[in-house]
Chains A and B, each alone.
Chain A
């Protein structure tokens, strides 16, 4: 199987974000592989272990994204393609077009994996646009997957405690969610091997895309202030609970 996995280089979940220049942020914080993309990589690696083939990472990002690509290569992917941009935030429609071009130039995909969303811009749409560009079917938020010769069965949560089971024709795009698998930490030999794996770099300007008209653009980024300290209710359990219920009723008008 020829499997492509789209991987994004994003600020660490625990990183402090400092807004810079009104719509940007200080990119000096620690960056990681987008957590949902790790489930995508692991699923692809396991599929290729069972069926043979190749796992190719595709990243749209700055040159610094190579560090996250190395981490994903250590998880067992074979090689990578970096589509170089000079912005952390690219409109999702453009990202999908860039991913499509890079994949189509490289080979013929049997499956394409993505994370269900990035944790920085939280666009939640690239898998759908990528599928549309290839004329493939797509399912995201996938928590269970089984792949046969020309179809897959995918499960995702649809809220209210319900799970939907879908039948999807290959080739297809799968958006991975937490729960799909449990990626192990790469061991040292895998990390060392990953350093020697090929990462081909392509400049986004050389893909023949019209970058001058993004469908959406970020015009302002603002830090969200934390709430202050909690008002603590004291006394016996009964007393503190009664004070809480009173506050929720009379001050907050919720109950």
Chain B
């Protein structure tokens, strides 16, 4: 039997929505038994959600080496041992900031093949697709050894419900932390903010936003949409937004269902970070802006006029 394992990323609100796309990707094998690995000790609370997407076994992972929460290397060691113990062939997870870090640690420990940020996966043939050259090309990569590790770009594989009954397993890995790396603290700068890389809708402000406080205008629209707010490199360089909000070549790569770019010119570097969005909308005063040549919908107008009207219309239609 082909066994797929999935590292489940959890947060304050439980299982992150984007995990369900990863589970769906693993089910694509047809004959795979799906294991979900949970590190936060709350596996029983996630049972309903995980089994509705076809997870057959939930493994609640603990270690002899104590609390996992602030030790990335201990988490990786526990996962690597569990992958071996449960005879997992394909080990998958989200290509979020945490996922890329953790899965790379696991692959390095196991000396296993790793492809990060996959946008397509065929487990039967062990081939995956991923962006190369900042989204200008897509590479098909053949994986030549087992077990292998892949991280999947959030939102690129649509989640599909497939209810089943799942079993809860406790597993205690006999690993210790190497003691060379520890998380000291986590600083929340924007509490409650929707995570950019996992957001279904993103509204981004470019250089014409003109001041940090003007992002409030986009935030109001984002609040109605349940969206996250992003920034262009030019806006970040001008000090209008922190680097953590930057989308593009040297910022974050996102793949939402809807991307609304306000005051963006449409540079190659920006598109590198958002090209795989499903629908791209541009709002720009310049009818000649390159972005209008390569997006789905456009409104020629000033973001300071258009965005408040958009917020208003969305509010009206919601109520």
Contacts and interface: CB of A to CB of B under 8 A. Distances in A.
Contacts of A190: none
B303 to A, nearest CB: 11
B97 A159 contact: yes
Given A25-B137, A216-B142, A216-B143, A178 B306 contact: no
A241 B313 contact: yes
A178 B243 contact: yes
B10 to A, nearest CB: 13
Q: Main SS of chain B's interface residues?
A: mixed
B298 A169 contact: no
Given A13-B134, A231-B297, A161 B244 contact: yes
Contact of A226 (B138, B201, B250, B294): B294
B108 A163 contact: no
A193 B68 CA distance: 49
A19 B140 CA distance: 13
Interface stretch (B55-63, B110-118, B168-176): B110-118
A157 interface: yes
A246 to B, nearest CB: 10
A127 to B, nearest CB: 8
Interface in B114-151: 114-117, 127, 130-145, 148
A161 B73 CA distance: 23
Contact of A161 (B188, B251, B272, B301): B188
Interface stretch (A54-62, A74-82, A137-145, A198-206): A137-145
A196 interface: no
Interface stretch (B19-27, B44-52, B99-107, B205-213): B99-107
Interface residues on B, range: 35 or more
A132 B109 contact: yes
Q: Which of A120, A143, A157, A218 has the most CB of B within 10 A?
A: A157
B114 A92 contact: yes
Contact of A167 (B109, B136, B184): B184
B178 interface: yes
B299 A241 contact: yes
Give the top 9 A-B pairs by smallest Cβ distance, nearest first.
A161-B190, A137-B180, A230-B298, A215-B113, A220-B140, A132-B108, A128-B104, A161-B193, A160-B195
Interface of A: 11, 13-14, 16-17, 19, 23, 25, 35-36, 92-93, 119-125, 128-129, 131-132, 136-141, 143, 153, 156-169, 172, 178-179, 213-224, 226-233, 237-238, 240-242, 244-245, 247-248, 252, 254-255
Given A136-B180, A230-B291, 16 more contacts: A13-B272, A23-B139, A120-B132, A123-B116, A128-B104, A141-B101, A156-B97, A158-B98, A158-B186, A161-B189, A164-B186, A217-B144, A231-B297, A231-B298, A232-B287, A240-B301
Interface of B: 11, 72-73, 96-98, 100-101, 104-105, 107-109, 111-117, 127, 130-145, 148, 178-191, 193-198, 201, 225, 243-244, 246, 249-251, 257-258, 268-269, 272, 275, 278-282, 287, 291-301, 305-306, 309-310, 313-314, 317
